[in-house]
């Protein structure tokens, strides 16, 4: 057992001043103001007198980091990504695939499933893969972004079941364009299996989007990007995403994919309960400018902007701790709201809100410690500590 004290604690549904958090065997066993929670004698106490304790972050849409791409799907790749994420406060994530040949996709899903099952048996001090997010191949040609066009496919239940079987039940999210042939049938099948169906890379009308919601769609992928633009007489998928009380929706709050004023509009439209921040990060995240891979695609990164050879945005180098600071700056929202966008809300979308995404008794002891300037200075994953990000940066500096 151990105790953590700090200046404040954001659950994120409430803010507690001068808190005490008790952890035993990786689970939160007690929490509250210091006067209400007694610290048992002779247990370790970690004190952060100027910091705020928040739930560990959950990134449900990420393609890579630290120079590695999820589609490589090797232990070396995934270990490096997970260590990087943990240093930025992320304790749970969804490794996200990109459109690729079917055989390659099946192989990657199988390797990711192996990794998820392996990671479930140990408690390494790095982010935990919660399940897989498939972005493609059932996407629109018109709104494909940088998704390789030659590998895009019409949707079919048979092919979806092959993907599902390869992932061995670890497929948590699938992004799909509802207007392509066969999409509604796949949406029904995926929803029946408990997969979160996310609408994206789509040129759908509002009518088709509503039909997808009826079929079981419940989320939207990187809103505004890869979507039919909003028109006052033809609202399309974007109009439905912004106004639907059924759909949660994600946004990339890096100031590049969506400008700050539109991020503010988005948060006002979706509200505190339905807003999810994601990174859509690629291998270049945390690395210097240069050339990196996104699946089979080559991406050039300069000044935090990721572009394919034809000039399209190709993911980001955003981290969720940076996204929190950005959304507070862009919208004026409070820390508690911004934290919710990267913790409780994505955890609920993924169906793991009872144990992830909040600091509550019985939940996993996934904790990020935030300094007054918003930096993550310490992370704990299921009760296992990692080095503070400042220490990691210092070690990198010494090695260079």
Q: Which of 59, 203, 254, 280 is catalytic?
A: 280
SS3 content of the chain, % helix, strand, coil (to 5): 30, 30, 40
d(CA 188, CA 299): 35
Angle at the Cα of 12 from the Cα atoms of 355 and 18, rounded to 5 degrees: 110
d(CA 348, CA 363): 13
Distance of CA 257 to the CA centre of its chain: 16
d(CA 381, CA 367): 7
* Burial (CB count within 10 angstroms: exposed 0-12, middle 13-18, buried 19+), residue 40: exposed
d(CA 385, CA 130): 19
d(CA 282, CA 285): 6
Among the listed residues 135, 207, 149, the one whose alpha carbon sits nearest the alpha carbon of residue 177: 135
DSSP class of 373: T
Does the annotation count 375 as an active-site position?
no
Among the listed residues 109, 218, 212, 214, the one whose alpha carbon sits nearest the alpha carbon of residue 160: 109
Structure tokens at 187: 């949406």
For residue 104, give the 3-state DSSP assignment: helix
Beta bridge partners of 275: 249
Angle at the Cα of 132 from the Cα atoms of 130 and 133, rounded to 5 degrees: 120
Q: Which residues are catalytic?
A: 280
């Amino acid at each position: 057992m151990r105790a953590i004290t700090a200046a404040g604690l954001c659950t994120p549904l409430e803010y507690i001043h001068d808190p005490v958090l008790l952890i035993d065997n990786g689970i939160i066993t007690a929490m509250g103001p210091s006067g209400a929670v007694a610290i048992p004698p002779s247990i370790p106490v970690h004190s952060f007198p100027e910091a705020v304790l928040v739930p560990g972050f959950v990134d449900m849409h990420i393609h890579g980091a630290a120079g590695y791409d999820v589609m490589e799907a090797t232990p070396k790749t995934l270990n490096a990504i997970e260590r990087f994420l943990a240093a930025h406060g992320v304790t749970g994530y969804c490794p996200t695939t990109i459109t690729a040949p079917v055989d390659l996709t099946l192989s990657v899903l199988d390797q990711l499933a192996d990794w998820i099952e392996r990671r479930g048996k140990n408690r390494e001090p790095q982010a935990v893969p919660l399940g897989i997010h498939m972005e493609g191949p059932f996407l629109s040609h018109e709104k494909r972004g940088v998704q390789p066009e030659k590998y895009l496919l019409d949707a079919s239940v048979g092919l979806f079941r092959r993907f599902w079987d390869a992932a061995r039940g670890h497929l948590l999210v699938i992004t799909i364009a509802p207007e392509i042939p066969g999409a509604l049938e796949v949406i029904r099948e995926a929803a029946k299996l408990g997969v979160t169906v996310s609408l994206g890379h789509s040129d759908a009308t509002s009518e088709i989007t509503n039909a997808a919601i009826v079929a079981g769609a419940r989320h939207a992928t990187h809103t505004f990007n890869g979507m039919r633009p909003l028109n006052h007489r033809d609202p399309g998928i974007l109009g439905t995403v912004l106004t639907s009380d059924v759909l949660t929706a994600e946004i990339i709050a890096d100031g590049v994919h969506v400008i700050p004023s539109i991020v503010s509009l988005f948060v006002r439209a979706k509200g505190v309960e339905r807003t999810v921040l994601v990174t859509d990060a690629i291998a270049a995240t945390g690395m210097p400018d240069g050339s990196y891979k996104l699946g089979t695609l080559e991406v050039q990164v300069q000044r935090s902007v990721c572009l394919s050879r034809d000039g399209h945005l190709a993911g980001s180098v955003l981290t969720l701790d940076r996204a929190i600071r950005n959304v507070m700056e862009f919208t004026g929202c409070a820390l508690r709201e911004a934290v919710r966008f990267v913790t409780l809300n994505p955890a609920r979308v993924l169906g793991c809100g009872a144990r992830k995404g909040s600091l509550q008794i019985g939940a996993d002891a996934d904790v990020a410690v935030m300094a007054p300037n918003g930096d993550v200075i310490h992370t704990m994953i299921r009760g296992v500590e990692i080095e503070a990000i400042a220490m990691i940066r210092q070690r990198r500096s010494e090695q260079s």
